[in-house]
Amino acid sequence: MTSTPYPLGVTLREDGANVAVYSETAESITVCILGDDGQETPTVLRRRTGHVFHDHVPGLVPGTRYGLRVDGPWDPANGLRHNPAKLLLDPHARAITGEYTWGQAPFAYTLGEPDERDDTDSASSVAHAIVTDPHSFDWEGDTSPLTPLADTIVYEVHVKGFSQLNPDVPEEIRGTYAGLAHPASIAYLKDLGVTAVELLPVHQFVQDSHLEEKGLRNYWGYNSIGFFAPYGPYSSAGDTGGQVDEFKAMVKALHAAGLEVILDVVYNHTAEGNHLGPTLSFKGIDNASYYRLVDEDREHYFDTTGTGNSVNVGHPAALGLIMDSLRYWVTEMHVDGFRFDLATTLTRQDGSAEMHSAFLSLIEQDPTLAPVKMIAEPWDTAGYQVGGFPASWSEWNGKFRDDVRDFWNGADSVLGTLAQRILGSPDVYESSRRSPLSSVNFVTAHDGFTLADLTAYSRKHNAANGEDGNDGESDNRSNNNGAEGPTEDAAVNARRDRQRRNLLASLLLSAGVPMILGGDEIARTQGGNNNAYCQDNEVSWFDWANADDALLAFTRRLIELRRSERALRPSWFRQGPESSAKARVGLSRSDGEEFADEDWDNPDARSIAFVFEHDGSASFALLLNAAENGVEFAVPPAPGEAWTFELSSDPEQSYDEASETTIVRGTSFTLLRSAA
């Protein structure tokens, strides 16, 4: 039967499948069908078109386990690492079953002798690809909610951690795609008011040997090996192919509830590590095409990710793999967007970060990806690139996190930067004609303290990670004031409660796209662990039994305000009452006067008033006071009806409509409304 070099991977046909694999350096590629008894049925790919080996392989039907054996030169000094004794994953595998047994077998070299090839067969020690049927799932007319960016509220969440301890989810599906799709989970998300879930990595990833030795597991999943395969252990249907349909069912259920699905994707590196890492897939198929090697020293890997390797985005094979993966998750899995981990690495095709890199250019012109939300983590270990991505992208804005934390922590001379963040960071985006919607605002994320811990701890408590507290960044922007950790001190707890509300309000009342760390709304704590990447246990899972219901109600109210009031979610602000723009903002000192240039640098200034207006909508006055003492604010003139009290982080705050001033307690905010 004839075969074709495209599409790459497995394409089902009558009596088998077409298989195509890219390699510039292999001498032969064999597809091995794996029987339940461990026996292999090999088929050599006899045809070659350009650098693609391809052939019809009989017996490849849905549910079949298979792997690749790639023969070719073994010459690590020149970047060549072929070893047919190692059974490799198909880079385009749609499903993957099993995990890795660490020892000699998964390593292509002899342990302790990195230049010496090892011929131990790895088939019984590695994960295997599974053939899937792309037509087995009925989408029943599923469509994306296509929520505009201006209306988007992102909820960053872990598939397992969200439902693992939820008593309202049946025990047999807790911690799975089905658990996230359960009506109780969806009802919670809908009641909260978010519009999109951003899932921590769900591409198939590898458990790290050094964590398993400590009795720990990779929880976050930033260790990908299968860019097309949903992570099997998150499936209640098992990992032998059922994970694909279960993932699709989750997306379908979330879409039916009006919720978008954004994937946190890790295309910048893989689980194969550096020259001492295992050979699981790409390294044994075509090492130099898929990874950036060090010039003049091709035994070693160019690494801007801190993981041992970086994907070679300067090569068509690696770029093609990424683009095929992105299109697959949009067209076949119906996801609505992507958040790119260490996205700056993906722009380094020649070493330096480039706005017009091949990676960004390919995405920009792709019609399949045009309606999809693209969010960059705009940094890597070699550089910080906030504001450096194309206008069609949004970015995790680390400046928002840092400046808002600094303000509420009482730092000196931060009013100017705080104002920029509340207004959507025009200092970052406006010069390149980008709007506030380019900024994904956040005060906490999976990496770092939770909101509850940010306000309760001044230092990290990471002993459980087994690294003597050396992991995780030392966070000098924590908002703790008083006892370290849980306390019975009523005054300390009251201040912590205010700070949590202050930070949530700063996030949800700012221009841009807000992102909430899942669990912050119920005061989820990790006991001060600010790097819980390896804590697949109660440290990381949602503790529903101890949810802070009052904070949850407060967060719901903030989100409801944002979603219902146009003045609180502008696409673009313009300053000054004389502006003719639909959305306007006014800024003033607490005494009601306009800011002079020197006021912004006043180290003692810790209060500011904003007035948000939008044609046809109510207006709002946001009064922020980060000082320890109460501050009397001259209430700005109301654009419409008289000001009325709306919300505050101070449970004792009130407002007299007849008064021209109001006192805002120390480390508190107050929000007033003027009806249109």
Neighbours of 242 (CB within 10 A): 18
Give the confidence band of 477 by pLDDT, cuts at 50, 70, 90. Answer: low
Which tokens belong to 76? 């690590």
CA–CA–CA angle 42, 47, 51 (5° rounding) = 110
Q: Which residue has the tokens 């001033």?
A: 661
Amino acid 479: pLDDT: 64
Amino acid 579: pLDDT: 57
Mean pLDDT of 510-524: 98
Q: Is 407 left (phi over 0), alpha (psi -120 to 50) or beta?
A: alpha
The active-site residue out of 341, 406, 521, 565 is 341
Residue 352 reports pLDDT greater than 90: no
Q: Which residues 6+ apart lie within 8 Å of 367 measured at CB?
A: none
Q: How far apart are CA 662 and CA 428, in angstroms?
A: 33
Asked about 286 being catalytic, the answer comes back as no
Residue 405 reports pLDDT greater than 90: yes
State the burial class of residue 473 (Cβ atoms within 10 Å of its Cβ: 0-12, 13-18, 19+). exposed
Pick one of 3.20.20.80, 3.40.1000.10, 2.40.260.10, 3.40.50.300 as the CATH number of 149-267+337-342+390-567: 3.20.20.80
Give the confidence band of 354 by pLDDT, cuts at 50, 70, 90. Answer: confident
CATH architecture entry for 574-674: Sandwich (2.60)
Q: What percent of the chain is modeled with pLDDT above 70?
A: 97
Residue 572 reports pLDDT greater than 80: no
Q: How far apart are CA 668 and CA 388, in angstroms?
A: 34
| Half-sphere exposure for 91 (CA within 13 Å, toward CB) | 29
Task: Tell me which of 2-11, 409-418, 444-453, 464-473 is least confident.
Answer: 464-473
State the burial class of residue 204 (Cβ atoms within 10 Å of its Cβ: 0-12, 13-18, 19+). buried
Amino acid 339: pLDDT: 98
Amino acid 88: pLDDT: 98
Q: Return the domain boundaries, the chain.
A: 9-130, 149-267+337-342+390-567, 574-674
Amino acid 42: pLDDT: 98
**Which of 271, 362, 268 is closest to 320 using CA atoms?**
362
Give the fold, CATH level 3, of 9-130.
Immunoglobulin-like (2.60.40)
The H or E element containing residue 261 is strand 260-265
Residue 482 or residue 583, greater confidence:
583
Task: Tell me which of 56-70, 375-389, 475-489, 640-654 is least confident.
Answer: 475-489
Residue 383 or residue 512, greater confidence:
512
Residue 386 reports pLDDT greater than 90: no
Asked about 377 being catalytic, the answer comes back as yes
Q: How far apart are CA 345 and CA 379, in angstroms?
A: 8
| Entry pTM | 0.97
Mean pLDDT of the chain: 95
Q: How far apart are CA 274 and CA 301, in angstroms?
A: 6
The active-site residue out of 377, 403, 453, 475 is 377
Q: Determine how β-strand 643-648 pairs with β-strand 668-674.
A: antiparallel
Give the relative orientation of helices 316-331 and 282-290 as an angle to the nearest 10 degrees: 110
Q: Do domains 9-130 and 574-674 have the same CATH topology?
A: yes
State the burial class of residue 112 (Cβ atoms within 10 Å of its Cβ: 0-12, 13-18, 19+). exposed
Residue 59 reports pLDDT greater than 70: yes
Q: How far apart are CA 92 and CA 9, in angstroms?
A: 5
Residues 232-253 have pLDDT tens digits of: 999 999 999 999 999 999 999 9
Give the confidence band of 474 by pLDDT, cuts at 50, 70, 90. Answer: confident
Amino acid 475: pLDDT: 67
Measure the N-to-C terminal CA separation of the chain; round to a whole number of Å.
72
Q: Determine how β-strand 373-376 pairs with β-strand 337-340.
A: parallel
Report the residue count for the chain: 676
Q: How far apart are CA 448 and CA 445, in angstroms?
A: 6
12: β partners: 17
